[in-house]
Amino acid sequence: MILLFPCCRCSEASTWDSQVLSRHAECLELEELTAISVNPSLLPALNQLLLEAYAILRPKPLDYDQRNTLVDVFRKMVNQRFGSNSGSPVVEPFGSFTMDLFTPHSDLDLSINFSANTDEQYTRKQMISIIKKFSKVLFSYQRSGIFCGVLPIVSARVPILKVIDRGTGVECDISVENKDGMTRSMIIKFVSSLDERFQILSYLVKFWAKVHDLNTPRQLTMSSMSIISLVAFHLQCRPGILQYCLRSLTC
């Protein structure tokens, strides 16, 4: 879906397409730059500073190893609790970890999937039942000191089970049959592979939003997925970045 925002210099266009949208983005950018005094000689230094900030935000190999290990741990726990029938249930990561847009302090999103058929729908009642059953397993591990902060939130739009691994400090959000979240994550991962600037800008904008308390959906601000989608939309409007790559996906 393409959002249309006519401006005074572009409103004469009767047919909105990617070129018109790109010209509109340029109009807005020129208006903003006119209002801001920018010394062009400082831009290389700013660019270097932002790249250094991006390098600091990026996870280290240990962060990847810890999360992959946690995925394996939860897979074994789920199989022990619910059994294993023809390869299911399985625990699959999604979200920022799958998109490779996470930081060492990011949550790890996990989905317990029982159905190999992506068209099969689990009812909310079934999801809550599974969350409650698995929470009892995690409560027992919490008493052993392995986990902490075990908290089933069944009143949320998507019922989840929160838990923190004591060894790594990684907070995990466990849901059930979250196929929508997995699909969105794979799409963003593909988009990220098209141009490294998408990943860099996503990290920087997410960090900016967090510093300014704009990345907390519970407080009615933007979610990380909303921020990343805005970055993708912006770069889609920039000639030569994601514009032509994303257009090919819809053809």
CATH code of the domain covering residue 155: 3.30.460.10
Model confidence at 222: pLDDT above 60: yes
212 and 143, same structural domain? no
Query: Which of the residue ranges 21-35, 55-69, 193-207 would you say has the lowest mean pLDDT?
Result: 21-35
14: in domain: no
108: in domain: yes
212 and 150, same structural domain? no
Of 142, 177, 212, which closes a domain?
A: 177
Measured CA to CA, the distance from residue 19 to residue 237 in angstroms comes to: 8
145 and 90, same structural domain? yes
Cα 166 to Cα 106, 109, 142, 203, 209: the distances in Å are 15, 17, 9, 26, 28
Question: Mean pLDDT throughout 211-224?
Answer: 88
229 and 202, same structural domain? yes
Specify the pLDDT at position 160: 96
Measured CA to CA, the distance from residue 69 to residue 113 in angstroms comes to: 18
Q: Could you tell me how many residues make up the chain?
A: 251
74: in domain: yes
206: in domain: yes
Query: Which of the residue ranges 17-26, 69-78, 163-172, 181-190 would you say has the lowest mean pLDDT?
Result: 17-26
Specify the pLDDT at position 64: 98
Query: Which of the residue ranges 87-96, 112-121, 192-201 would you say has the lowest mean pLDDT?
Result: 112-121
Question: Mean pLDDT throughout 122-135?
Answer: 95
Measured CA to CA, the distance from residue 97 to residue 108 in angstroms comes to: 7
Whole-number average pLDDT of the chain: 86
207 and 117, same structural domain? no
Specify the pLDDT at position 244: 54
Query: Which of the residue ranges 171-175, 199-203, 232-236 would you say has the lowest mean pLDDT?
Result: 232-236
95 and 146, same structural domain? yes
Of 145, 177, 209, which closes a domain?
A: 177
pLDDT, one tens digit per residue, over 133-172 is 999 999 999 999 999 999 999 998 899 999 999 999 999 9
135: in domain: yes
> Dihedral of the CA atoms 61, 65, 71, 72 (nearest 10)?
150
Q: Which of 140, 135, 64, 56 is nearest to 97 (CA)?
A: 64
Question: Encoding tokens for residue 93?
Answer: 């990561």
161: in domain: yes
**Count of domains forming the chain:** 2
128 and 208, same structural domain? no
230 and 147, same structural domain? no
State the pLDDT confidence band at 7, using cuts at 50, 70 and 90. Answer: very low
Cα 163 to Cα 93, 98, 197: the distances in Å are 15, 19, 33
168 and 74, same structural domain? yes
Cα 186 to Cα 30, 98, 119, 133, 194: the distances in Å are 34, 7, 17, 29, 13
Q: Which domain holds residue 212?
A: 195-251
118: in domain: yes
Specify the pLDDT at position 217: 81
- Per-residue H/E/C for the chain: CCCCCCCCCCCCCCCCCHHHHHHHHHHHHHHHHHHCCCCHHHHHHHHHHHHHHHHHHCCCHHHHHHHHHHHHHHHHHHHHHHCCECCECEEEEECHHHHCCCCCCCCEEEEEECCCCCCCCCCHHHHHHHHHHHHHHHHHHHHCCCEEEEEEECCCCCCEEEEEECCCCCEEEEEECCHHHHHHHHHHHHHHHHCHHHHHHHHHHHHHHHHCCCCCHHHCCCCHHHHHHHHHHHHHCCCCCCHHHHHHHCC
pLDDT, one tens digit per residue, over 34-92 is 777 778 888 899 999 999 999 999 999 999 999 999 999 999 999 999 987 766 799 99
148 and 72, same structural domain? yes
172 and 79, same structural domain? yes
203 and 173, same structural domain? no
More confident residue, 23 or 249: 23
pLDDT, one tens digit per residue, over 228-245 is 999 998 888 877 777 655
Model confidence at 190: pLDDT above 80: yes
75: in domain: yes
State the pLDDT confidence band at 29, using cuts at 50, 70 and 90. Answer: confident
Measured CA to CA, the distance from residue 186 to residue 166 in angstroms comes to: 29
